[in-house]
Structure 1
């Protein structure tokens, strides 16, 4: 007698299916429309292939293009496999490594055949053509389970040394999934967890585009061979791709690295790889932000501190960072011997120091100075703290990912009964700050990861407290994009995250607040409670900008360089039409500066149209043009950056009054 499984569907109905049946069979039983639309299935919550048989009674949800998040991840994963097959079809001898889905597409890393050389952007059109041929062939994607040794031998037999190396690091004895394309004997096969679409023909051949080629080290290690990484973007249909390409074009215009050069804000160079050289104009923005956030945290009754750049490794061991984060830390010996001495520069028994990658352990040391009472809490410490993290070269990206950065960092030491109120107050402060910059945002709660410190009981408390604070702040709603993210918390604490949406719809995760009971325990922080006994404080890690460098990069791209007047490094340029107006232009500039405005004068013997173009490229918000008439009448002709209106003539005193009001930073009192 055939064994039957009960398959429960989202609408509450139950279908009985014979053993060996698949989600595809259920879709077909429901109707041909669903059978055609189905891309994959969630079986008991796990995303699976449509053609993978049920293993028992199951909860089933069929995935279609309406389930956009799952659908996009699936098609991007499949496009990566099609890319790899196409490359090996065109360039025999190429070795495959790995090709994951990304936020907007996919990539795959290849080891080119000996003597072939690295791939270039010129290879992309030919590869795209072959990918479309593979898609048009509508070949099935078939999942098979192999032993580790069989997989290793297969890759060795086919000259795939990278895959053969990797597979030996997978757990011994556990089955490994391989996916082949084609009927019968596989046309192409790869090691992969899956899931995949039923066939290559499920992909839209007009919904992808290969975008660029770069270098990448095998397993991200510079000691390993260099590979060719081919990137692509992929979507569910041609319309989505077209919309994305328009966004990419707009993003290229807004690239903070390009605008940073045009506006003379900063530069980066190999002599300080991953660190920023701030030019006067860029540092002016930095200082405005620093002044702004200082006012914000002073209003929140925070105390500013400054802590050392270098701390003993033993402190990092106590905090847990040495074990969890050492590979990302810059480590130095405590004492370097005289170079005239014989022997190694650093002895085996040297004591080690590290540049701080974060400020929190140092703030605990400040808290521990002197005895703290329950009456002293909450104690709110903040620091514009410079940190260093040893990011891989390939991960560095302008201001967005650097090795040296400054955080608007803070730590609130509080009692258990104060946590919800402190977090709620921070939520409200963050709301005001982000709105001052014109951002909308989503609030997300990142929950406990698999690898973590602390007890489940403490994690239960911390997650519940953060959740309650957001509810009390009125932000646990669809309007605020409220979402919980399982497994994405830090190893020591859950966290609330603020994801900003910029002018072209991109999201950036910036501010956070984390509820931490682990670090106070590890570093033995305590206060004297009302009962006269020692108690552990809870430590709330919080930041609003995240880092000045990255936040400035986001602002530049959000505003396309056209910063609001209060943020602009040079707010006003006074430009002369004729040299006869030089004295008046200087007088105007002096009065603007006296009113607190960041003003410059342009007295060069150049045509006014040339000056206008140059200062527009530098994104100066206001240009005041003066000639003989303006000098005689005590007026200025005002040109606004990006305005289609003709210049407006204003009396000098009226102009100064109006611009001073406009340039005033938002009030955070």
Structure 2
């Protein structure tokens, strides 16, 4: 066996580590490199190396789970003293010392009953085993350290030289907010030093672009823990940005044949029982009682749109019928996962539902994909698509799910659109296409979604009159382009580092009059711009000119215009273009033409 092989892939693309692959014929070798499968093995093995180091430094530690995640790996554990960010270097040093001991990683198997006895004094191991249905369990051992694990792992510690522990956090045992808080340490690992350095450089840049930091500096939004966690407040500048984004999408929806609607934000729980939300999503809903009847605050907008569709009789000639709503929804996210605007308890979806015939599914899906493409191009995002299939917790018959899933695949394949599969990642009522965008730092984000649903129309007895005068059930396509305004604005903020495109910038122009006698002309220009839908401000406070210019530029405003004697006399402006890093003079009319052209770039 080659020294650089760290595992194998079977015919189903499952990873098998070198110790489990007794017969390698027909298996595909996994080389030690930065491929997705290789990194999964490397990072999972590094998590165990970290656990071994923690065990030696903190002998009474007990470990729960240590999976690979999108951002690298982590391990949850109990320790009898506080571990902070300052301790990570000590743990890293111990990990490097362990690598020098050249331990091999060995695997052995025991029965579940034997494992229960072996770890009888470790309640965290007992909790792990309660989650495992298999009667035979595998244990991985390196030196004196061993832990329950399915694997896979590299053959030896010598493959684990390029890692970095990134942060310490708290994590509830099993994700249960009522359970014990464990310590969690995150880390990252690669096959070579260069990739590790590039990733750490990206993390540093990400810190500078953090939307929470920029949002505070630019006064876009705020949170108030006294008012409630995960509930964003939009400040004037953030609200202006958001309104511009909403207006761009509003026009784009209308020209594509969508009709605006709005449903209530609270409905009787019986509606949510009929839809399946109560059974499949109830733990994420906020419930209350009115007139001795239970109501649920909506976590999704679909039921409201169904009721609007049903209000009048529809014919096949009315289909496809496209409803859209900027729908405010509430979901009970656990406090530990709340993260700025990226994970909140109240948010607004750019939601739409398309009622169509089965024959119209493919064309409607492609129309939505083209809509997605136009929005992604507007902001310079690359994106990929993923077909998510039936989850464990779902409603509807398998045959219906297979029909809906194949409909999505056919629509993409017939138009030569590449996609990957996310097994079990669908919504509880139907399969979906998830849109994953890549930002300026190469990070992937889940945003838009297109979902095919036969189940809700059936449950709510939604019908239309077909061409042969029979009553038939329409298909319901759930769709969002951005996902939510909150999440998309967070991504935009980090993608552009707050340097928003002119057409959505909260403040687009700041006028800085040099002296008092220049203020009237600056205010005249501001009024002219505001009438054209361009947000402008005048900085005429009693500060030095340089300080006012610096203050304006800190707001990441696209244009700063200086107004002095020459500008007043000639009806012109002295421009500092933050985007092009240029300074130049324009007449008032020329300036308006330039700004109008910039606004036009925001059309889709």
Matched, 1:176 2:112: no
Equivalent positions of 1:320-359 (< 5 A) are 320-335=276-291, 351-359=293-301
Pairing 1:453-532 to 2, within 5 Å after superposition = 453-476=395-418, 482-532=419-469
Q: Deviations over 1:139-169 (max 9, x none)?
A: 2222222222322222224xx2221233234
Work out whether residues 216 and 227 of structure 1, in 8 Å CA contact, stay in contact via their aligned partners in 2: yes
Aligned counterpart, 1:588: 525
CA distance in 2, matches of 1:292, 1:599: 19
- The more displaced of 528-537 and 74-83 is 528-537
Distance 1:177 1:156 in 2: 17
- Does the 8 Å contact 1:44/1:58 carry over to 2? no
**Would you say the 8 A contact 1:148–1:168 is kept in 2?**
no
1:226-237 matches, within 5 Å, as: 226-237=181-192
Aligned to 1:6: none
Deviates more, 1:390-399 or 1:627-636: 627-636
Matched residues in 2 for 1:253 and 1:442: separation? 26
382-391 or 306-315, larger mean C-alpha shift: 306-315
Q: In structure 2, what is the equivalent of residue 449 of structure 1? A: 391
Alpha-carbon distance, 1:474 to partner: 4.4
Cα deviation for residue 248 of structure 1 reads 0.9
Measure, in 1, the Cα distance between the counterparts of 2:34 and 2:61.
35
* CA contact 2:315–2:466 (8 Å) conserved in 1: yes
Residue 163 (structure 2) pairs with residue 208 (structure 1): yes
Question: SS of the counterpart of 1:153?
Answer: helix
Number of positions where the alignment pairs a residue of Structure 1 with one of Structure 2: 602
**Aligned with residue 653 of structure 1, among 567, 589, 598:** 589
Name the counterpart of 1:21: none
Name the SS for the 2:529 alignment partner: helix
- Greater CA drift, 415-424 or 369-378: 369-378
Residue in structure 2 matching 1:293, options 244, 249, 257: 249
What is the aligned counterpart of 1:574 among 494, 504, 511?
511
RMSD between superposed Cα atoms in Å: 1.8
Q: CA deviation at 1:608?
A: 2.0
Return the offset for 1:128: 0.5
Counterpart position of 1:631: 568
Structure 1 residue matching 2:575: 3-state secondary structure: strand
Q: Hey, what does 2:71 align to over in structure 1?
A: 104
Inter-partner Cα distance in structure 2 for 1:190 and 1:94: 12
Give CA-to-partner distance per residue, 1:101-152, whole Å, 9 cap, x none: 1213111112112xx2x21111111100111112222222222222223222
Could you report, residue by residue, the CA deviation over 1:371-423 in whole angstroms, capped at 9, with x for unpaired residues?
22222211111111000110011111111111100001011111111111111
Partners of 2:21 and 2:548 lie apart in 1 by 71
Give the Å deviation of 1:577. Answer: 1.6
Q: What CA distance in whole angstroms lies between the structure 1 residues aligned with 2:438 and 2:119?
A: 44
1: CA distance between counterparts of 2:521 and 2:457? 62
Bigger Rg, which one: 1
Tell me the distance in 2 between the aligned counterparts of 1:136 and 1:368. 70
Q: Is the 8 A contact 1:292 1:665 kept in 2?
A: no
Q: Deviations over 1:237-292 (max 9, x none)?
A: 11111000111111111111111011110011212210110001000011111111
Secondary structure at the aligned position of 1:239 is classed as: helix
CA apart distance, 1:50: 0.4
> Which of 103, 111, 114 is equivalent to 1:139?
103
Residue 665 of structure 1 and its aligned partner are, at CA, apart by 5.2
**In structure 1, what is the Cα distance between the partners aligned to 2:186 and 2:516?**
55
- Runs of 5+ in structure 2 lacking a partner? none
Match of 1:192 in 2: 149
Q: Secondary structure of 1:563's match?
A: coil
SS in 2 for 1:36: coil
1:164 aligns with 2:126: yes
313-322 or 42-51, which deviates more: 42-51
CA drift of 1:180 comes to 1.5
Which runs of structure 2 are paired with 1:26-175 in the superposition (5 Å)? 28=1, 35-45=2-12, 46-54=14-22, 59-66=26-33, 68-113=35-80, 116=81, 118-157=82-121, 160-171=122-133, 174-175=135-136
Q: 536, 541, 559: which is aligned to 1:599?
A: 536
Looking at structure 2, the residues matched to 91 and 194 of structure 1 have their Cα atoms a distance apart, in angstroms, of: 24
C-alpha change, 1:251 and 1:169, in structure 2 (3 Å) is closer
User: 1: distance between equivalents of 2:554 and 2:206?
Assistant: 17
The answer to whether residue 382 in structure 2 is matched with residue 382 in structure 1 is no
Q: Are the counterparts in 2 of residues 357 and 387 from structure 1 also a CA contact under 8 Å?
A: yes
Q: Distance in 2 between matches of 1:399 and 1:232?
A: 24
**3-state secondary structure, aligned to 1:568:** coil
Shift of residue 590, structure 1, vs aligned partner? 2.1
**Contact 2:248/2:603 (CA < 8 Å) preserved in 1?**
no
- State yes or no: 1:244 paired with 2:212: no
Contact residue 105 and residue 235 of structure 1 kept, 8 A: no
- Pairing partner for 1:221 from 157, 176, 184: 176
Assess if the C-alpha contact under 8 Å between 2:280 and 2:394 holds in 1: no
Residue number in structure 2 paired with 1:16: none
Q: Deviations over 1:543-567 (max 9, x none)?
A: 1011000111111111111111111
Instruction: Find 1:264's aligned residue among 204, 209, 219.
Output: 219
C-alpha displacement of 1:459? 2.6
TM-score, structure 2 as length reference: 0.96
Deviation of 1:604 (Å): 1.3
TM-score between both structures, scaled by the size of structure 1: 0.87
Corresponding residue to 1:313 among 236, 252, 269: 269
> 1:637·1:650 contact (CA, 8 Å) conserved in 2?
yes
What's the counterpart of residue 235 of structure 2? 279
